[in-house]
């Protein structure tokens, strides 16, 4: 897969969608995962969701009969992108740590 740097919001959205989740749940989970640092507005979230759907990184799950909330889930392609980003971030961290040690 190509090396794509994700925005923090997209990173946390993909991380959230490793489990089926609806929009408000994603907003709450991103707040939790980022320890309150990343706040997603509804418009920002749904713009990102539309982009992720177009890229094939997430899918919309069939709606339940008794629920009006649409749920989303990461795809295999999205998992690859997320995994690549985690590796990229780890490399950045390690390079910074080594630099500070003077190596």
Q: Are 72 and 65 in contact (CB under 8 A)?
A: no
Task: Write down the domain spans for the chain.
Answer: 8-101
pTM of the model: 0.89
Which of the four pLDDT bands, split at 50, 70 and 90, describes residue 103? low
Residues above pLDDT 70, as percent of the chain: 93
Q: Provide the b/e sequence for 50-59 (b: ≥16 CB within 10 Å).
A: eebeeeebbb
Q: What is the CATH number of domain 8-101?
A: 1.10.10.10
């Amino acid at each position: 897969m190509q090396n794509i740097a994700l925005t923090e919001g997209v990173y946390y959205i993909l991380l959230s969608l490793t489990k089926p989740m609806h929009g408000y749940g994603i907003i709450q989970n991103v707040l939790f995962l980022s320890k309150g640092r990343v706040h997603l507005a509804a418009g920002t979230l749904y713009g990102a969701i539309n982009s992720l759907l177009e890229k094939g990184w997430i899918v919309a799950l069939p709606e339940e009969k008794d629920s009006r909330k649409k749920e989303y889930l990461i795809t295999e392609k999205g998992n690859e992108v997320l995994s690549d980003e985690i590796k990229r971030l780890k490399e950045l961290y390690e390079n910074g740590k080594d630099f500070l040690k003077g190596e």
